[in-house]
Amino acid sequence: MNAITNHITFEFHAAFKYLYMGAVFGQYIKERPGVAKFFLEAATEERGHGIQMMDYLNMRGFEYNENFRFSKDDFFLFQLWKINGNHVTDTSDLVSLKIREALQEAVNMEIDVTEKILQVVAKCADDYHAADVFTNPILEEQYTGLRKLQGAIRTYDALIKGNSGNEELAEFIFDKKVLKGEIL
């Protein structure tokens, strides 16, 4: 139960990060409604995982012995965001966030969360019901989502190549395809 409780934090961290990415691409200066919608939906999914886990703990009669606290660092961007492996400390850097960078960050985050889920499943090896809660449907959603993100990156790269490296045009086309449901 403690492993599940600790994992809930990672789910909400991912939800917050997706929420922020959705907000960045939804700004009038970015105007990428398809990508914004995708990231906002991903935030809802991650939040749903966290809630599903809390519901499971409540069903099992888990007693919360201490209040959960977020430290102030949990909400600052320099703790949440990396671009090309470097922590972002100035929010103005996110205005220039490209779709490719955001998709790659999402892939990295999904890989990390999936690894953490596998660790929880290993800790629940003797508790078949708890392990099942994580493997079906959460783990399946992780792998499916990761595959979609990797495919989206390949599609985006092909659009860049096919448009002679014109990243602005490729972002526009990619966003329209996401909005129509052709990608992701």
Residue 97, amino acid? L
Is 7 flagged in the annotation as binding?
no
Of 141, 151, 147, 139, give the one whose Cα is nearest residue 182.
151
Number of helical H runs and strand E runs in the chain: 8, 2
Within a 13 Å sphere around the CA of 60, how many CA atoms are in the beta-carbon half?
17
Helix (H, G, I), strand (E, B) or coil at 156: helix
Q: Report whether 105 contacts 83 (CB < 8 A).
A: yes
Is 46 flagged in the annotation as binding?
yes
Is 171 flagged in the annotation as binding?
no
Cα end-to-end span (Å), the chain: 33
- Give whole-number Cα distances, 105 to 46, 56, 98, 129, 131, in Å: 15, 29, 11, 32, 27
Q: Report whether 40 contacts 182 (CB < 8 A).
A: no
Would you list which residues are annotated within the binding site? 11, 46, 49, 110, 142
Would you list which residues are annotated within the binding site for Fe cation? 11, 46, 49, 110, 142
